[in-house]
Amino acid sequence: MTTTSITYGEVSSGLTVPAGDFLVILSGGTTVSATVDAGGTELISSGGSSVDALLSGGWEMVSSGGVAIGTTAVGSGIVKVSAGGLAVDTVINSGQLLVSIGGVAFGATIGPNGDMYVQAGFSYDAYISGAYIIVDTNSDLVVPGYASGTVVTADGGDYVANGSTDVDATVNDGSVQWILSTAVASNSLIDSGGTLLLGSGLGVAGGGRSISATINDSGSEIVSSGGSSNDTIVNVGGYEVVSSGGVVSGTNLAGGTLVVASGGTAGSTIISAGGTEVVSSGGILTGTTNVMSGGTLDLYGSLLTDGTGTIDLNAPTGGATVVVSGSPSNLIQGIATGDEIVFSNIAFTDSEVIGSGGTTIDDVTVNYNGSILEVTSNGVTDEIDVSNVNTFGFDLTSENGELAFEVCFAEGTLIATPDGEVAIESLIAGDMVRTLAGAKPVKWIGYRTVDLTKLRNPETQRLVRISKGAFAENVPHTDLLITPEHSIFVDGVLIPVRLLLNGGTVARDETIDRYTYFHVELERHGILIANGLTAESYLDTGNRGRFANGGVMQLDLNFTENANHASWADAAAPLVVDTAIVRPIWDRLAERAKALGLTLPKVAFNLEPDLHLAINGQIIRPAQALDYGVAHRYVFNLPLSLRDGAATIDARILSKSSTPADVQPWLDDRRQLGVMVESILLFDHADGGLRVIDMQDDNLRDGWWTIEMIKGQPARWTNGSAAIPVTAGTRSVEVILAAVSRYVEKPAALRRAA
């Protein structure tokens, strides 16, 4: 064993320290480009310095007052920085960087075969690529570690524990940041740059706390039992998931998604435009959840509160969406015109719009009981507490989100009168208009302005442009813009124009995002002539309150308001949605479009459902996918953490989804269809037991459509996100499909110049 000492004033270059030897750099001494072989040791004392050392399996020990600059470790080399020591720009290609109590490391780079341990020491601006950094206390669990400006990439890991602190970390490309046991992370940036399925994650558990994190596209923050997160910003494509026992507060969903599992708590969330908060049954909302214009809050089942949890839609802005599945206990306040409430448990495909209490349409009954809005269908009643909802109209539709079916002409439409055509916005009550039954006086003109950029599902309310000559020569004589639910009079019947869409002569206009529409009401429902085409007048079925000049609609318990409402039995012609009648008319319009020289676009679709599970917010992909011709069988293996976890599990079958009318517009089927399930098998890992869930199971409510018989067997469609009753101990889940939907790959080219 040989010891070489570098003393004050000496500068040594290119030394090699073989196995068993020591190189000691004393105060004032300097080495440059030393090589330390395996078993060799470089000791840097107070006042000593080492520059560009190469550790080829050897050790470098930086004592108090010592400085190491540009050290590179290969072959399992180790750099240890003790109290008062300083390591700058260390590179660990293979080996370890150990920063113990009071030691400091600046600008370290750790490669895939390296690791970095900060035990009560300090790390600044480390770059971790495919490796791990662990920030922890010393062995006595007394002094915490500290890291600032760490970048973790390429499936790396950032572990912070036992009261330690991690500030301004950036985590991307499949990497993970874990905040454990009273540790704190501040201003973390969770970026993407990686695979969506293995996107970057921020895990908070066991008393760990995150403050002011930012979650970007494909990034996620998962807060489990004992963990907490404050003031997180979740941008578009980002996810925040809070599991049972976890707490998040002050989250701002700036286009991203927050999922609150059963037993998880979310307080004072702000849901901005494009943001979505999904709260499972048993989830806890505290403080005030603010749903801004363009934001969406999905409430499943009966939510819990701490006695103060409210939901504020921030009147008078409008444009907020609340989706209700079950009967949540939270109070909704601040509702305004343009806000939307969807009862996703209630199937509703009628083209009517509900606007007052006591109405029954398609076996759906709406009542207003004190401050409680009740919706009942087929024995299922959902309730929600909405302050002052009785002063507004409201919409009830199916779960596919088609929340506001408007039935009006757009501004600029020319209405035939005995004295010639008049722009619809120029008509006033008392003016005479031409109808198929002769000249009739106008009773009322309703109008409303729609801003599609504020709607949850804008495509359902895009104006439909009927091109000049679409029905016959000069019929209409100029392009006509109407809302999708407006009915055209053709072959003696009224047909909603959405059923006649062909992407050519009858197409959604994608160039208009904001418009004002009008409707003409007569003493009796009639057939007007608009731009030379016959179309219906306004029929008041209870939605007058949706118009800017419609007045206040009262949801009275005595239901006297409904006595003045009409129904489709009062229409001037039968309203028809039967495919046997609509399809031939659609074909005729399509043939005419081709005769006009137009090539109608074809909707591209596929039959791949992308079936997967979400268990407490964790995505589970199928281990097997088997096709038996008449059925498709998918097998999902649950990880141990979910098999043996809490008794309450939030489990969902997820898939692509599409509306049949997206592919075949003449179909009056606007359900959002995911997959048709024949049965579900649950295998218990402890006793090998098997549980079969058939489609008549009472637990299949959220995300499930009604039972259909397929070859004598009950089957049910999901809407793309359907809850299933999985409990702890389940080893695997098998899903057997009876059918899949046609999943639209790209919307048809429906744009047409004005």
CATH number of the structural domain spanning residue 496: 2.170.16.10
Average of per-residue pLDDT values in the chain: 82
> Are residues 657 and 581 located together in one domain of the fold?
no
DSSP lists the bridge partners of residue 115 as 96, 132
Question: pLDDT of 466-487, one tens digit each?
Answer: 999 999 999 999 999 988 888 9
E strand or H helix at 558: none
Lookup: tokens for 486: 């407006």
Q: Highest mean pLDDT: which of 205-214, 562-571, 705-714?
A: 705-714
> What is the signed CA dihedral for 221, 222, 226, 230, rounded to 10 degrees?
20
**Burial code of 574-600, b = ≥16 C-beta within 10 A, e = fewer?**
ebbbeeebbeebbeebbebbeeeebeb
Distance from C-alpha of 91 to C-alpha of 79, rounded to nearest angstrom: 10
Of 437, 439, 405, 394, the residue nearest 420 (C-alpha): 439
> Are residues 644 and 612 located together in one domain of the fold?
yes
Cβ distance 231 to 247 under 8 Å? no
> Are residues 648 and 736 located together in one domain of the fold?
yes
User: What band does 152 get if pLDDT is binned at 50, 70 and 90?
Assistant: very high
Whether 520 has a pLDDT exceeding 90, the answer reads no
Q: What are phi and psi of 613, to 5 degrees?
A: -110, 155
> Are residues 580 and 630 located together in one domain of the fold?
no
Q: Are strands 409-410 and 514-522 parallel, antiparallel or unpaired?
A: antiparallel
> Are residues 586 and 645 located together in one domain of the fold?
no
Of 448, 686, 420, 455, the residue nearest 546 (C-alpha): 448
Question: pLDDT of 580-632, one tens digit each?
Answer: 999 999 999 999 999 999 989 888 899 999 999 988 778 889 988 877 555 58
Cβ distance 295 to 272 under 8 Å? yes
Q: Is 37 helix (H, G, I), strand (E, B) or coil?
A: strand
* Residue 437, Cβ density class (10 Å: 0-12 exposed, 13-18 middle, ≥19 buried): exposed
In a domain, 305, yes or no: no
Whether 291 has a pLDDT exceeding 80, the answer reads yes
Q: What pLDDT, on a 0 to 100 scale, did the predictor assign at position 578?
A: 92
In a domain, 706, yes or no: yes
Q: What pLDDT, on a 0 to 100 scale, did the predictor assign at position 447?
A: 77
In a domain, 457, yes or no: yes
In a domain, 486, yes or no: yes
Percentage of residues in the chain with pLDDT exceeding 90?
Answer: 43
Question: pLDDT of 498-509, one tens digit each?
Answer: 999 999 999 999
In a domain, 729, yes or no: yes
> Are residues 583 and 643 located together in one domain of the fold?
no
Q: What pLDDT, on a 0 to 100 scale, did the predictor assign at position 750?
A: 34
In a domain, 17, yes or no: no
> Are residues 520 and 432 located together in one domain of the fold?
yes
Q: What are phi and psi of 579, to 5 degrees?
A: -60, -35
E strand or H helix at 322: strand 321-325
Distance from C-alpha of 217 to C-alpha of 193, rounded to nearest angstrom: 9
> Are residues 416 and 460 located together in one domain of the fold?
yes
Whether 646 has a pLDDT exceeding 80, the answer reads no
Cβ distance 37 to 54 under 8 Å? no
The residue out of 590, 613, 632 marking a domain boundary is 590
Angstrom distances, CA of residue 733 to CA of 618, 624, 663, 693 = 15, 11, 31, 11
User: What band does 715 get if pLDDT is binned at 50, 70 and 90?
Assistant: very high
Q: What pLDDT, on a 0 to 100 scale, did the predictor assign at position 337?
A: 60
Cβ distance 248 to 266 under 8 Å? yes
Q: What is the largest CA-CA distance in the chain?
A: 116
In a domain, 665, yes or no: yes
Distance from C-alpha of 128 to C-alpha of 114, rounded to nearest angstrom: 9
Distance from C-alpha of 376 to C-alpha of 345, rounded to nearest angstrom: 10
Question: pLDDT of 350-390, one tens digit each?
Answer: 444 444 444 555 566 666 665 667 776 666 676 777 776 65
Say which DSSP state 413 is in: P
* Residue 245, Cβ density class (10 Å: 0-12 exposed, 13-18 middle, ≥19 buried): middle
Whether 224 has a pLDDT exceeding 90, the answer reads no
Whether 92 has a pLDDT exceeding 50, the answer reads yes
> Are residues 506 and 609 located together in one domain of the fold?
no
In a domain, 239, yes or no: no
> Are residues 580 and 654 located together in one domain of the fold?
no
> Are residues 722 and 585 located together in one domain of the fold?
no
Lookup: tokens for 55: 């550790």
Whether 532 has a pLDDT exceeding 70, the answer reads yes
Whether 564 has a pLDDT exceeding 70, the answer reads no
> Are residues 533 and 636 located together in one domain of the fold?
no
Angstrom distances, CA of residue 575 to CA of 75, 240, 492 = 80, 46, 10
- How many domains is the chain partitioned into structurally? 2
Name the more confident of 357 and 699. Answer: 699
Tell me how many degrees the CA angle 332-337-342 measures, rounded to the nearest 5.
Answer: 55
Range of the domain at 504: 409-537+576-590
Residue with tokens 């993407």: 192
Cβ distance 444 to 539 under 8 Å? no
Q: What is the mean pLDDT of residues 539-556?
A: 42
Cβ distance 717 to 476 under 8 Å? no
